[in-house]
Structure 1
């Protein structure tokens, strides 16, 4: 805890007059209509960001500050706000020092990040303030990353640039050591996969759906999960590799392990020993067509203080997106499949889940900074825990969204 606040203090105490300050942002106003059941964002068992009915919302207001120290070093500060009928959240989503060195004669460049940031997993959320560039809603996989996965620690990157070696490919390897992510896996287990463009802001609590087990073996669990919680002072780690061929084909693979102690509980927050592997690609087929996909597979374990398995789940999610671009138009069609497999025997806490989803997005570029977007989300899921609230375990939910987005 002390090291975290020392880091934040050291960042804010740097002299402002020595910095080159740059900033950019994104503002996203939406109109949406959904059908199905109450959203998981408000602690229920629906799979969509919005509950049934219409909603006028601030889909995202994100601001990214870059405080330049010199040509190679800077501090990044990213804040986001999300305001809708489910929940209002405003705060920091990333804060880190970064350094990117100059490449040597062989094209090798070293880089680092220190602070709170997203690991380099998502291939969708690579626009300003971690927004998805070509759609309103990322896949279930990357929706979960935005909700529960954030690292506070150190990342080192080595990048080999092909143009220095007369090669037609670039290679990037990253590794990170981190803390403050011990509860990753709690929400994936207790509400399952979902579709949402929200990101958890620092200090935010995530409401947990009610199950019979919470009056028994899980009675100590807090009503909200803290995605930034650290309970055992153990470091997690991740590895990420990216291969870029002729700037047309990107291949990605990685591994993430929060290394949490699963039987430690502090302030109603349990440790969840969570790890996953992932792989992805982005392929520019020609000037108009591109294909992108990612697959994640992992496990999460939470135990009682007596080291009895309380929640033991395997999980999986994958998507494939076909995109067509012809300025000023862009169309994206995404198919995905997801599951959670419950391996424990805890009564009143069945986390089994299986589902499929389809998303169709259209983006029209009004000018350099203004965009109109529309999106249809369809998701068919079967979740056993819905029976605890007398709901049908299988639900088909749909959502139509229209948005005006401005990058500034």
Structure 2
């Protein structure tokens, strides 16, 4: 699985003549964070950066697109980070894509196969899975970027209304996948976050110094989670339906289940059973205001080999984002709430939390492809597990960022 991007590029380069396209993003930021040690660094801070100020290469993303003279294309995305927390470079996506021409009745088939994100995010629509709205992703899409990715296949069938004179389009998408058996571990042990970092294919994610993981009831758990691991050979699935009104927006509803067999443990990596339902909408409001809202609710389970529930959590998160773009300016405002409910009886592993977050972001297009953006983030959350590290269970975290982002 780790060699999938290289295999895709090798196959692509030896096929028929095709059109090549390279695009990318370079995101450099000055930031100041009023928080505790970042979750990226094994802490319980909910932002990407460690406390105090720093200058960072937040994202150097490169997207390679190969388009053949038929409905097939290939896509490879790599990202690099130099943020002083966990500097690294690697692949984040690599897949083949099929997009057929519509039939006379308005039906169209499309699909993808490879290392890919599930079709969930309504924010991360720009190059290399960046967001044009805010510098920091919502909690839902921060989690997807961290540990909700897989190797699999996706098939969509779409009914285009214009063929019958209707403004309504309908789309049904089905995905089957593997290589995501630890999904749920990071959400359980550090909770919801607001980040702008995507986990690279070769990365393992450090776990925080919690009583259960440090000589406690979970000492058999590896000290880092591998989010792209296949342990049980089960096939998960994701189903989504979408209604789109031309010129106005769309509404989506989906269900995700990784079908994890929680009896399987290998080299300290446990199989998690993670399921959730997600609902989203993207709509054009009066005064040229764009509305984006998403809600996700689910559960995740990890068991000991004996069958006892060790981690059993329910979780949910939702946000509303309002954005207005005029001339060279964009102003975005996002509010969100989140929670994790701990249902198990493991005494030294309290994963419960609840909180809310707010983001205010202003962007200005300086030149073609070059954007300057300023952003303020605030998270108010209560997480009892922080007391084991000497912090108050309730914490208000704030972050200020100034970014120069160049798209090419």
2:222 corresponds to: 222
Q: Unpaired runs of 5+ in structure 1? A: none
Change in Cα spacing, 1:239 to 1:392, as seen in structure 2 (3 Å) is: same
CA distance in 1, matches of 2:167, 2:287: 19
How much has 1:81 moved relative to structure 2?
1.0
CA distance in 2, matches of 1:316, 1:345: 20
| 1:28 partnered with 2:27 | yes
How much has 1:89 moved relative to structure 2?
2.4
TM-score, length-normalised on structure 2? Answer: 0.97
2:151 corresponds to: 152
DSSP-derived class of the 1:44 partner: coil
CA distance in 2, matches of 1:305, 1:222: 15
1:141 corresponds to: 140
State the number of aligned residues.
Answer: 406
CA distance in 1, matches of 2:114, 2:217: 36
2:355 corresponds to: 355
How much has 1:71 moved relative to structure 2?
3.0
Change in Cα spacing, 1:347 to 1:322, as seen in structure 2 (3 Å) is: same
1:237 corresponds to: 237
How much has 1:90 moved relative to structure 2?
1.1
Contact 2:217 2:348 (C-alpha < 8 Å) held by counterparts: no
User: Which aligned segments of 4 or more residues in structure 1 are displaced greater than 2 angstroms?
Assistant: 4-11, 16-19
CA distance in 2, matches of 1:246, 1:13: 37
CA distance in 2, matches of 1:363, 1:181: 35
CA distance in 2, matches of 1:63, 1:231: 30
Q: Unpaired runs of 5+ in structure 2? A: none
1:326 corresponds to: 326
| 1:404 partnered with 2:404 | yes
How much has 1:218 moved relative to structure 2?
1.1
Contact 2:8 2:94 (C-alpha < 8 Å) held by counterparts: no
Contact 2:186 2:207 (C-alpha < 8 Å) held by counterparts: yes
| Alignment map for 1:333-348 (pairs within 5 Å) | 333-348=333-348
CA distance in 1, matches of 2:59, 2:70: 30
TM-score, length-normalised on structure 1? Answer: 0.97
1:122 corresponds to: 121
How much has 1:11 moved relative to structure 2?
5.0
CA distance in 2, matches of 1:99, 1:342: 42
2:258 corresponds to: 258
| 1:200 partnered with 2:202 | no
CA distance in 1, matches of 2:148, 2:128: 15
DSSP-derived class of the 1:366 partner: strand
CA distance in 2, matches of 1:406, 1:306: 52
1:292 corresponds to: 292
2:173 corresponds to: 174
CA deviation map 1:333-384 (0-9, x unaligned): 1000000000001121100100100000001111221111110000001001
DSSP-derived class of the 1:167 partner: coil
How much has 1:16 moved relative to structure 2?
5.8
CA deviation map 1:15-36 (0-9, x unaligned): 1662321111111100000102
CA deviation map 1:55-101 (0-9, x unaligned): 10111111111112323101100001122121112100000111100
